[in-house]
Amino acid sequence: MKVGFVGRYPPTHCGVAEYTKMLASFLQSVTPGISIYSLSTDESYTEPYIEEDSGARVYPCFHHKGTDFRKCLEVLNDLGGVDVLHIQHEYGIFGDTDDVLRFSHLAKEEGLTKAVIITLHTVYHPYSGKEGALEFQKRLNEFIDLIIVHSRLQEFELYAQGLNPRKIVRIPHGTLLNPYLWMPQNRLLHNLGVAKELRRPLLILPGFIRKDKGINVLIESLQYFNNEPSLLVAGEVKNPELIEVLEESGVTYVPKYLSSDEILKAVAAADTIVLPYKDRPGTYSVSGILHLSMGALKPIVGTRVPRLVELYEVSRQLTAVPEDPVDLAGKIEWVLNHYDFAVVYASNLYSYAVRVQWGRMARRHLTNYRKAIKAYTQDLP
């Protein structure tokens, strides 16, 4: 089987790019003989290359938020077509125009693919005010054979917007069981570039640091602890003004882009992982950081926002009201003071992490690829 991804691919610093790489890697591990190609943006490279970790063949052939996919059609033609064309869609990559849909439809018409599948990493609700995105979502019925989403919120929102339920499949974001749990905390922190010794207990907020990640709320919550824990903020700072916030707070931070492997090391070093996200009205997505964190088998304290809906579904006791530093501090302090009980409360989360391991999720993708190809074959005259 030949699978062609359309979207971003590493080394671009993007969560969707890392997701696509992981899916490509595990598809190849569970399916001998499968070939993975990526029709990628040209932000990092302009010439084809083989991505080292996944072995995927990457063809930079369109611009970030571009509308011209003619070069992608040429690449598909040179490859002799693919069995499945799988769009890894994020509005930050493609915008809200339907050019990528028209490209995929044309590829199918010209016999360059048997099935067109899209993963919507973000689904917008009408309250979002994103009229272009809402129109894009409606057009999926016309252009796409199968729509993959990650959460129940996304799934039922698309139903409500009139998309064909037969076309929608929910496949959770994959999870890696953390390979660094055996490593001493000081060694993990040293590998991340943390020079000073941090006292226990240690809280860690990993991943891209943006305003919507709630770093301000987390820092404010520290004043409500009886015995203040250490806090490590690890990840690339996306809003420059947050650097000043971090420096003034005195917390330890590692302000650099972290690969998935480095994030695994960061969460393995934590006593408790904290994800104090703020709500983004009308926006349904899932947190890749949550899935990287789950595999560390540590308590996770998060907020009740759509991105963390899985945490709420399986470990509600460890979720706090968004943008409430007092409630957040109370949840964290309870975990730190009753750690054995917290681990029990979080056991459902650990079980969920095992159920959605990347290998299982790759097999579910493969099953749906085969169904889509079979449907195409049955429709042939």
Residues 160 and 14 in one domain: yes
Task: Count structural domains, the chain.
Answer: 2
Do 43 and 114 reside in the same domain of the chain?
A: yes
Longest dimension (CA), the chain: 73
In a domain, 180, yes or no: no
* DSSP secondary structure of 200-268: SSEEEEES-B-GGGTHHHHHHHGGG-SSPPEEEEES-BSSTHHHHHHHHHT-EEE-S---HHHHHHHHH
Residue 7 in any domain: the answer is yes
Q: How far lies 277's CA from each of 181, 325, 374, 381, in Å?
A: 25, 12, 41, 52
Tell me: do 31 and 161 sit in the same domain: yes
Give the per-residue pLDDT at 279: 86
The strand pair at 122-124 and 283-285 is best described as antiparallel
Residue in this structure with the two tokens 């990628």, named with its chain if needed: 40
The predicted pLDDT at position 239 comes to 85
Do residue 254 and residue 314 come from a single domain? Answer: yes
Same domain? 87 vs 224? no
Answer for the pair 172, 310: CB distance below 8 angstroms, yes or no.
yes
How far is Cα 198 from Cα 203, in angstroms, rounded to an integer?
10
pLDDT at 117: 97
Does residue 273 belong to any structural domain of this protein?
yes
Q: Is 270 among the domain residues?
A: yes
Q: Are residues 134 and 237 in the same domain?
A: no
* Backbone φ/ψ region at 105: left (φ over 0), alpha (ψ -120 to 50), beta: alpha
The CATH number covering residue 344 comes to 3.40.50.2000
| 232 and 162 part of one domain | no
pLDDT at res. 195: 77
Give me the average pLDDT of each 10-residue run along the chain (381 residues).
94 87 94 93 90 91 94 96 97 94 95 97 95 96 95 96 96 94 92 85 92 93 88 89 87 87 93 93 94 92 96 93 96 92 86 94 96 77 53
**Same domain for 101 and 198?**
no
Note whether 169 and 29 are same-domain residues: yes
In a domain, 195, yes or no: yes
Domain residues for the domain of 147 are 2-174+358-379
Tell me the HSE value of 143 on the side-chain side, using a 13 A CA sphere. Answer: 20
Q: What is the 3-state secondary structure (H, E, C) of 39-53?
A: EEECCCCCCCEECCC
Amino acid identity of residue 185, one-letter, is Q
> Residue 179 falls within a domain, yes or no?
no
Question: Could you tell me which residues come within 8 angstroms of residue 131 by beta carbon, excluding any fewer than 6 positions away?
Answer: none
Q: 112 with 61, same domain? A: yes
For residue 210, the number of C-alpha atoms closer than 13 Å in the C-beta half-sphere is 8
CA gap 9, 275 in Å, rounded? 26
For the chain, the straight-line distance linking the first and the last C-alpha, in angstroms and rounded, comes to 22
Whether residue 372 is found in the same domain as residue 232: no
Q: Is residue 208 part of a domain?
A: yes
Based on the fold, state whether residues 120 and 245 are members of the same structural domain. Answer: no
